[in-house]
Structure 1
């Protein structure tokens, strides 16, 4: 008990010093379960479905980025990107269940449940519910687009996807994800646009959407081209707030670093 109280006192002291110096101070909370105990069905869900929260402690009404990691829906782990730290925003890194232990649509369901947790809790940390953004790289970009364009996933949590302030999809699939196709016995070179494709859910009233890919000659399996098609069809249906960026000279793995800068520039506007 003494150690806990001493740590809390030290944290408050450091925060007050930072506030007095006009500096924004940050803290983190890790491994927060976003499903209730009654919703946990097995140990894998219990261990995997957690999030980390990084947020300012001496400022209010900040924006929050919900970050979904890459890994093809079959690998990767939650982590707060270093590039998003100390930027005046909160960042939520989401862990979600992965193939082959689960199959579609569990990945999307987990992403929606984590996003719902943020909507239901970020005000407790002084953040704004009307300033919640989704973002992710590769598989995370796919989850970002699916949640933002297909309103059914967040609606299950009584949240309108149009409450999202914006979507930042970095090199995400616009067609049905290759892991989802594999689960159906479809080759990764056979493109599919079904209900699990962001392209299937284009709509005029969606939140602002930023699509960022690497160089079309260096990216994965036509990733730039499918994102360009999503951008074009969003224009056709009248969604004027879809932007697309192709990062010349960057491949799928390293495009995320300049993509962070694009996102932060828009968040600061």
Structure 2
């Protein structure tokens, strides 16, 4: 069954009307607006049928352009929330998905299991399975469409670790060379503070162990576009600048770029991504459409 067959078109007077239908694998809600269609709550880890928490959280939403989706690029987007909160349906995450879908990108937005209900590396394993599901059931039906993996904050951390420590993708049956690129936004490249807390390491300690993306620097990776706000959390911008520098100078990896928007905070960089004329959105969409990294840039957003 082709991916496009998952979506049913309706002619309605109001774009907010919701419809429900039963699929062979799940019951999903469909919404059609003027520019996008949404397939919600698709399970991506059905093998965990005996785990009630996994069955609740291991679901994803698919945002699809309503027209001309043949060979449309795909963006998997992981939400933020400190690995302890957040949701695929949170306001800014949903707006980003709607905006990118309206501009011709299929956007896959998953939930994943959260700390303290689970601990590292369970959320990484869930994320890798999302990538596997997307390649198997969505990209394959789009004639092998390009798949990009992005996320904000904790989602950016997840994206960076998937990009750097390949065993998560390999264990999920994903060949990293088949991915078009990674887009971590405002991510932590040291060991995430929630992971450190799980290990009994209190703030303000900063560590870089096997749970840190920067620990796994290497020469060959898919292209990585790092996006940061100039007024992000204390030292987060500098942390990402250092990551890009060591990737280039130590690992000799030139498949990485850093775009900074000078006046953006940890949250407003995400808010801006949902606006087509925003500099961060322009950089991300250009990368997705062309598969070419932009030059490093500090953008003065007047």
TM-score strictly above 0.5: yes
TM-score normalised according to structure 1 size: 0.86
- Count of residue correspondences: 247
Q: Which residues of structure 1 form unaligned runs of 5+?
A: 1-6, 12-23
Aligned pair partner of 2:189 in 156, 168, 174: 174
CA distance in 1, matches of 2:234, 2:9: 53
**2:144 match: secondary structure:** strand
Q: Which residue, out of 109, 112, 123, partners 2:128?
A: 112
CA distance 1:186–1:30, change in 2 (3 Å): same
Structure 2 spans left out of the alignment, 5+ residues: 1-6, 12-33, 273-277, 291-302
Q: Check if 1:136 corresponds to 2:151.
A: yes
Does 104-113 or 257-266 show the bigger shift?
A: 257-266
**Which residue, 60, 75, 90 being the options, matches 1:51?**
60
2:30 — aligned with what? Answer: none
Q: Secondary structure of the residue that 2:155 maps to in structure 1?
A: helix
Cα distance, 1:176–1:127 mapped onto 2, change above 3 Å: farther
In the other structure, the counterpart of 1:156 is 171
In the TM superposition, residue 109 of structure 1 has moved relative to its aligned partner by: 0.8
Give TM-score scaled by structure 2 length: 0.77
Distance 1:184 1:9, change over 3 A: closer
- Distance between the aligned counterparts of 1:250 and 1:9, measured in 2? 39
Quote the RMSD (CA, aligned, Å).
1.9
1:40 shift after superposition: 3.1
**Contact kept in structure 2, 1:148 and 1:164, CA below 8 Å:** no
User: Aligned-pair distance for 1:138?
Assistant: 0.2
Shift of 1:10: 3.7
Residue 101 (structure 2) aligned to one of 66, 71, 85: 85
* 1:267 match: 288
Counterpart secondary structure, 1:176: coil
Contact 1:63 1:128 in 2 (8 A): no
